[in-house]
Structure 1
Amino acid sequence: MPASPIRHLVLVLGDQLDHDSTAFDGFDPAEDRVWMAEVPEESTHVWSAKPRTAIFLSAMRHFAAELRERGLPLRYTQLQDADNTGTLAGELQRAITDLQPQSLILTAPGDWRVLQDLRAVAAQADLPLDLRDDRHFFSTVRDFAAHAKGRKQLRLEYWYRELRQKHGVLMDGKQPAGGQWNFDADNRESFGKAGPQNVPPPFRVPPDVITQEVIELVNTRFDDHPGSLQSFAWPVTRAETLRALDHFINHRLPLFGQFEDAMWAGEVWLWHSQLSAALNLKLLNPREVVAAAEAAYRNGHAPLAAVEGFIRQILGWREYVRGIYWTQMPGYLERNALEAQAPLPAWYWTGETEMACLREAITQTLAHGYAHHIQRLMVTGLYALLLGVRPQAVHEWYLSVYVDAVEWVELPNTLGMSQYGDGGLLGSKPYVATGKYIQRMSNHCSGCRYDPAQSTGPKACPFTTLYWDFLMRHEAMLRQNPRMAMQMKNLDRLAPEAREAIAEQARAHRAALT
């Protein structure tokens, strides 16, 4: 029994590392206590890669140290503790037994599974659970549900405009800055034959003592998990992430939009922010990120096209996918509109493939826990979609390997945007392309044994073969989608013998994977 009664046990999860969290509203150190727990379950319910596990554990331990410095009483379970039950539910049950709190307080989690587990523990203990809004977002799930009510189709653009107007972001009076809402036409260039020039060095943080201990623990406890920690240098404290934000605004934002979709062999970071992990751990608030980006436009440091494109990812897309997740779960997880059933190729866990673009994206991912959005959507995701991989297997891989992967944001991006598993709820069409897209946006094809212009024969690019095969396999459904009209017209130009040759090439490619 505790020395004095515990009024509230405040639950803080590994992706809620915010000192201003709603869970701390009204906190009294004399009566309340904070609960945090590292458990193997969070690295094993999917086969979590080492960089992802390490960033969570290191950030949690640094946050716990800050709580102690502030004088907040804390019950903290470490992964290696002998009496660790192995699950969040088990650790919470143990804490309730030991501390006998009168109630539990929790800021809404980002994971449906975790919320259900903690709710079940509270119910079993007959304790009230005060579930509070997460003010790390510009909107609530209730806001999104109200926006979605009665609409035949959900589209990011309308939600994004609504939030910009509501919060006065990139607005000149009642009009969008620059007279238009979207500047995609001014962004998304390739590097050309010369490749990227004068790429700024990435913001990296040498591991301190706490992070070094975590690296050793992860390498020992999860030695059979994928990924490497040799180059681990992610920011894991609020102070470090604020420096990372400043570094992005000063050195990367001006060219972010122009090259946001471009890829180049050996260039991991380019002009991307690398802030998504900090945002999803709640070390950075999206409001301060958006405000810093807008200020860069207002003071002439960065062009409007770059700033708008970046802000749309945070104020628009991040809020949108959260709304989709929480209004559609738990059924969303099981959606498979294309009835895809193929297994994920084993080399997604090693990068050992002759396809240069996939080898580059996967080996980079395993080394750093990071790949930018086009590598995810139009390389690793595109191949899985064209191959016909079961979307739940793709989801589990993405959730496993990326340091910024929390299910509320990863699942809609993967199952919906990347794999079209929700049949068009999130995005209006399948994002499919031949290998020519990758050739246009990167230099990967110049060093690859495959030719993106060929769909059949020994040098045929699997992306190109599988693209046409995908259109043929789903032809009836795709013809109902007006945004696929141009691609279906191109399919109509294929002679019957060409169609059969492509289908046979696709069958041979699939057979070689087994």
Structure 2
Amino acid sequence: MSDTNAMTRVRRLSIVLGDQLNEDNPALRQLDPSLDLIWLCEASEEATKVPSHKARIVLFLSAMRHFAERLRARGLPVRYLALDQHPYSSLAAALSADLQRLKPQSARITHPGEHRLLIALRDACATQHVPVEVLDDDHFLCSTADFERWARGRKTIRQEHFYRWMRKREQVLMSGAAPIGGAWNFDKSNRSSFGKQGPGRLPEPVGFPPDETTQAVIDLVSERFPEAPGDLSRFDWPVTSEQAATALEDFLANRLPAFGAYQDAMWTEQPFLYHARLSAALNLKLLDPRALIDAAVAAHTERRAPLESVEGFVRQVLGWREYVRGLYWREMPGYLERNALRAQQPLPAFYWDGETDAACLRAAIGQVIEYGYGHHIQRLMVTGLFALLLGVQPRAVHQWYLAMFVDAVEWVEAPNTLGMSQFADGGLLASKPYVASGAYIQRMSNYCRHCRFDPKQSTGDRACPFTTLFWDFLAAHRDRFAQHPRTALMWRNLERLDQAELAAIRAQAGALRESLLA
């Protein structure tokens, strides 16, 4: 993709990042095509700072290239540095070189989604003595300033309180000051499993076979990053706003009605079930969160989807998504170093290849390798849970999620991993650690039917690693959580084990950790 719009004089350089692909991007407003230039760059460092999944790399690059062409079609001047057409490994280095060459009077950028990039790009502009304006990202419904005002002075900040505040402020699923349906959430109605009969025939989500642009990116990534994890044979993610809108309509019509009841369920060889598969498009800003919320609420109003499903979906977009972004920017840059439980175990090698005897981990990780995707319970209560129980160093877990999931951008991934999944922030995001034995996975999936381990056993050859590590976790962290109001009941169960049984469990847990180091 050559630079067909180079300019000899630039008033203002508008920098657009790979997760800022909305045409109403604040950095693209008030452009004068005769004086201003839009700048996009593919940089190998963004694919290699963690060993990114091939599908994640393809998604970002293809979406960026499609977006650049869309801007050009509008007659806007675009300087696009394709991966194989410039020598710079980092965005900051490429920007610095272009600032020196183009000598713009100023630069502007919408607030990045990663603290590292914000600092690096600001520094590049400062080094070249180009003033840069960082604009608020109004793609989100709650600005970082509004989040800070909401959080300031609270003894604790909780997503549930924030969610209710946002519901009231935005008047979403509200009847005056009261929530529609008389409850703020319907979690108790949204925890069904499929039972022994399984999910039956499922509506397949719409896919988007690679066009010429995407195929060129696939070929480039396969050649440039042959050792990167993941598979590209299944790549069919939306890479344009039109495709994303089609994916949204498909979800609303075919999967939203059952989404609520089965959002926590898992099933072998069924990667998507009733989930939306929209998070990647949303995080690249090919979709606006307001459009998702409005469409879901309309589905309920028009009796096309039950309130339980609609509220569960709205909570993910209006509640969790906005909350974790606010928390990320409030707590950075130190948030990535949090390790409240002092976990130091290395991430097991099977997280990169899926080669493990545990059927649930094999299925969940294998699916991530194949698609770059796993839904929130697979992330929290399978791959995340095992890392938490094993005691994996939280930053290593964070880097794996950031690398392997197509929808991963640090502002959303880091709090969900370090806070929700690993309790590394000590309860800032989640008030308690989300821990369970193998019995939870057995209840919510069919994984255990295909496994050599027995979730009821905590010692011996057939002991489920989750169950063994669960009891070991309770014993290791007894002092911290035994009196916690939300975890005391779980820790009281630990008292039912006699000392000999607990000693055997802890010995088996230690042996398991040692074996994973080999």
TM-score range normalised by the length of the shorter chain: over 0.9
Do 1:39 and 1:84's aligned partners in 2 also have CA atoms closer than 8 Å? Answer: no
1:33 counterpart = 2:37: yes
Offset at 1:2? Answer: 6.9
- 1:201-237, Cα deviation, whole Å (9 max, x unpaired): 1211010000000111111100001001011010100
- Residues 62-461 of structure 1: pairs in structure 2 closer than 5 A: 62-81=66-85, 83-461=86-464
SS at match of 1:152: coil
SS at match of 1:182: coil
Offset at 1:3? Answer: 5.2
1:19 counterpart = 2:16: no
Q: Which of 6, 9, 14 is the equivalent residue of 2:13?
A: 9
- Residues 28-67 of structure 1: pairs in structure 2 closer than 5 A: 28-67=32-71
Q: CA RMSD in A?
A: 1.0
- 1:264-300, Cα deviation, whole Å (9 max, x unpaired): 0011110000000000000000000000000000000
Query: Structure 1 residues 107, 303: closer, same or farther in 2, change over 3 A?
Result: same
Do 2:96 and 2:127's aligned partners in 1 also have CA atoms closer than 8 Å? Answer: no
Matched to 1:145, the amino acid is E
SS at match of 1:33: strand
Give the whole-Å Cα distance in 2 for the aligned partners of 1:482 and 1:492: 17
Provide runs of 4+ in structure 1 moved above 6 Å: none
- 1:398-439, Cα deviation, whole Å (9 max, x unpaired): 000000000000000001100000000000100000000000
Matched to 1:462, the amino acid is P
Give the whole-Å Cα distance in 1 for the aligned partners of 2:113 and 2:122: 14
The worse-fitting range, judged by mean Cα deviation, of 182-191 and 437-446 is: 182-191
Do 1:78 and 1:84's aligned partners in 2 also have CA atoms closer than 8 Å? Answer: no
Do 2:8 and 2:102's aligned partners in 1 also have CA atoms closer than 8 Å? Answer: no
Number of residues of Structure 1 aligned to a counterpart in Structure 2: 513
SS at match of 2:133: strand
- 1:21-78, Cα deviation, whole Å (9 max, x unpaired): 1111211111100000001000011111101111000000000110111111011100
SS at match of 1:80: helix
Offset at 1:480? Answer: 3.7
Give the whole-Å Cα distance in 1 for the aligned partners of 2:457 and 2:61: 46
Give the whole-Å Cα distance in 1 for the aligned partners of 2:499 and 2:481: 19
Matched to 2:167, the amino acid is R
Do 1:160 and 1:315's aligned partners in 2 also have CA atoms closer than 8 Å? Answer: yes
Matched to 2:456, the amino acid is A
- 1:176-206, Cα deviation, whole Å (9 max, x unpaired): 1111111111111000000002210121101
Do 1:265 and 1:360's aligned partners in 2 also have CA atoms closer than 8 Å? Answer: yes
Give the whole-Å Cα distance in 1 for the aligned partners of 2:510 and 2:381: 22
Matched to 1:152, the amino acid is K
Offset at 1:84? Answer: 2.5
The unaligned stretches of length 5 or more in structure 2 are none
Query: Structure 1 length as normaliser, TM-score?
Result: 0.99
- 1:328-357, Cα deviation, whole Å (9 max, x unpaired): 000001000000000000010000000000
Matched to 2:330, the amino acid is T
SS at match of 2:475: helix
Give the whole-Å Cα distance in 1 for the aligned partners of 2:362 and 2:74: 46
- 1:358-383, Cα deviation, whole Å (9 max, x unpaired): 00000100110000000000000000
Query: Structure 1 residues 228, 337: closer, same or farther in 2, change over 3 A?
Result: same
Give the whole-Å Cα distance in 1 for the aligned partners of 2:67 and 2:8: 25
Matched to 1:291, the amino acid is D
1:500 counterpart = 2:496: no
